[in-house]
Structure 1
């Protein structure tokens, strides 16, 4: 199953991209992330690994599989019987006044149907929280600060 969240952000693409790839600060941007830890040194790009802890989900290790500077990255995580591929895409709006962002999640593997059954609503909510957090931080230009998640 695949999930997709699209949002228009009234900020330059460069700013949105900078916020998006500053992955260790994501918990400041969204309550859907408890902790994000880079597991390697150097610039963020293809091959980078990150450990992400999220409320109500098991921690996962994500590895960047594809990276196009300023435009997109995808990363993959594997857990018993499930592979998850998450995409992060930014592009300038047609008139250049804003940035279009698309976030995607695709689950596969023999346990994916069960995982979907158990987490579909949560996955959709987290994608929405992440996109709106990215919008808020990118448009403010003042750095990250998470909004509390009051819907537990």
Structure 2
């Protein structure tokens, strides 16, 4: 099962990327995150881990599995026998704007049933997160000197 949301953000890709990799600030940008705590130090990199708590869910540890600096990263967690992969892609579109794509893939036995039961909620959460990134990035753009 896979869900994806793409929006255009009126802020440079660098601003959106900085917000994207500053995962501990995500709860400030979106109500879909209660807390995000990095479990390692330094810049986000392959193998970096974070404990994420989301409303009505137990905390889960997510591990970065793909990273293209300034452009994209993906991370995974395993829950209930399912592998969940969250992806973040930032693409400049010119004129200090960019396209931000958030995705969630779920694989494993029972992924189809999980998607049927929770797909609508997951789709709404991804849209909410992307709108939060847009609001935070445009706010950061507007506060630059």
TM-score, length basis structure 2: 0.92
1:44 is matched with 44
Q: Which moved more, 1:124-133 or 1:107-116?
A: 107-116
**1:17 aligned residue:** 17
Structure 1: which 5+ runs fail to align?
144-152
Report the TM-score, using the length of structure 1 for normalisation.
Answer: 0.88
Q: Quick one: distance in 2 between partners of 1:13 and 1:97?
A: 7
Match of 2:56 in 1: 56
- Match of 2:127, SS state, is helix
In the alignment, structure 2 segments of 5+ residues that lack a partner are none
Verify the 8 A CA contact 2:8 2:100 in the aligned structure 1.
Answer: yes
Is the aligned partner of 1:141 residue 2:136? no
Residue 122 of structure 1 aligns with which residue?
121
Superposition CA RMSD, Å: 1.5
Query: How many equivalent residue pairs?
Result: 142
Q: Structure 2: how far apart are the matches of 1:111 and 1:59?
A: 21
Hey, what's the Cα distance between the residues in 2 that align with 1:59 and 1:13?
30
- Select between 40-49 and 134-143 the one with higher mean Cα deviation: 134-143
For the residue of structure 1 that corresponds to 2:25, the secondary structure is: helix
Structure 1: 4+ residue segments shifted above 3 A: none
Secondary structure (helix, strand or coil) at the match of 2:102 reads strand
- For the 8 Å contact 1:89–1:101, the answer to whether it is kept is yes
**Structure 1 contact 81–112 (Cα < 8 Å) conserved:** no
